Amino acid sequence: MTTLTMYARQHRRYVHITPVLAKLHWLPVSASIQFKIALLTFKSLTTYQPSYLLDLLQLCQPSHQLRSAGCNLLNVPRMRTCFAQRSFTYSAPHIWNTLPNDITDNLNVCTFKSKLKTFFYSNCHS
């Protein structure tokens, strides 16, 4: 029996689920999707696997010397339609560039996942 099932049995049938998910420290669906995309981006940038995803990502190479040159930013391609913005090519760099530097500078997957979940959880439940 899952934790959600056990916790849900303690409440009435038609109770709003958001407080239940907050108590279990679960992310909302949209934040969970962004978490998975950010994790795939991190793994492809650090381990170079899977290579087909790494081919879709480009590090930002500014033409001038900027302070943001060492921030591990990715180049976000221009997309004309909302449908195209749902692709990994657009969404991965867009999500990656919104993350703070203390999260993206990690070399360890476990530390990255922990800090990333804390970041998304604090943004969703604040």
Would you call 74 helix, strand, or coil by DSSP? strand
Q: Answer yes or no: is 68 within a domain.
A: yes
9 occurs within a structural domain: no
Give a yes or no: residue 2 inside a domain.
no
Structure tokens at 66: 């900027």
- Return the ∠ at Cα 50 (arms to 70 and 61), rounded to 5°: 25
- State residue 70's pLDDT score: 57
Please tell me the total count of domains within the chain. Answer: 1
Question: What tens digit of pLDDT does each residue of 48-87 get?
Answer: 888 888 888 888 766 556 555 556 788 889 989 999 989 9
Write out pLDDT tens, residues 31-56: 999 999 999 999 998 888 888 888 88
User: If you ran DSSP here, which 8-state letter would residue 67 be given?
Assistant: G
Considering the entire predicted model, what is its pTM? 0.79
Identify whether 19 is part of a domain: no
Is 47 exposed, middle or buried, given 0-12, 13-18 or 19+ CB atoms closer than 10 A?
exposed
Using DSSP, state whether 59 is helix, strand or coil. Answer: strand
Average pLDDT, the chain: 83
Question: Is the residue at 93 inside a domain?
Answer: yes
First to last CA, the chain: 30
Which residues constitute the domain of residue 59?
28-124
For the chain, what is the largest distance between any 2 Cα atoms, rounded to a whole number of angstroms? 60
Residue 6 lies in a domain: no
